[in-house]
């Protein structure tokens, strides 16, 4: 009756890809772990995170913090990708 049985995880991942929800789910994962990844100070001053393809947009309210984060984009990139153990993002933009 069921010739092609698949694990539920594979079926769910296929659904996410079909309905283009993978990016949104990755964005939610980053946001939910943002304090762990970047620390309390940066997390408190981050108003929004958005993922456009493999570009992570970080919105901060403080101009000095924005400037500091711009200098450390490569470190942030490494921290996020290391935390998720895959190359989730390739570029970071601070807004």
User: End-to-end distance of the chain based on CA atoms, in angstroms?
Assistant: 54
Per domain, the residue ranges of the chain are 23-94
Q: Taken in order 55, 61, 66, 69, is the CA torsion positive or negative?
A: negative
pTM of the model: 0.82
Residue 2 predicted with pLDDT over 70: no
**How does pLDDT run across 46-94, given as a tens digit for each residue?**
999 999 999 999 999 899 999 999 999 999 999 999 999 999 999 999 9
Distance CA 86, CA 95 (A): 24
Distance CA 35, CA 57 (A): 16
CATH T-level assignment (fold) for domain 23-94: GMP Synthetase; Chain A, domain 3 (3.30.300)
């Amino acid at each position: 009756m069921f010739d092609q049985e698949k694990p539920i995880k594979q079926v769910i991942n296929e659904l996410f890809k079909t309905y283009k929800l993978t990016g949104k789910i990755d964005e939610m994962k980053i946001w939910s772990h943002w304090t762990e990844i970047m620390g309390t100070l940066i997390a408190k001053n981050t108003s929004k995170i958005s993922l456009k393809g493999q570009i992570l947009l970080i919105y901060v309210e403080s101009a000095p913090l924005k400037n500091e984060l711009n200098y450390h984009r490569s470190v942030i990139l490494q921290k996020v990708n290391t935390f998720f153990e895959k190359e989730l993002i390739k570029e970071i933009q601070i807004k």
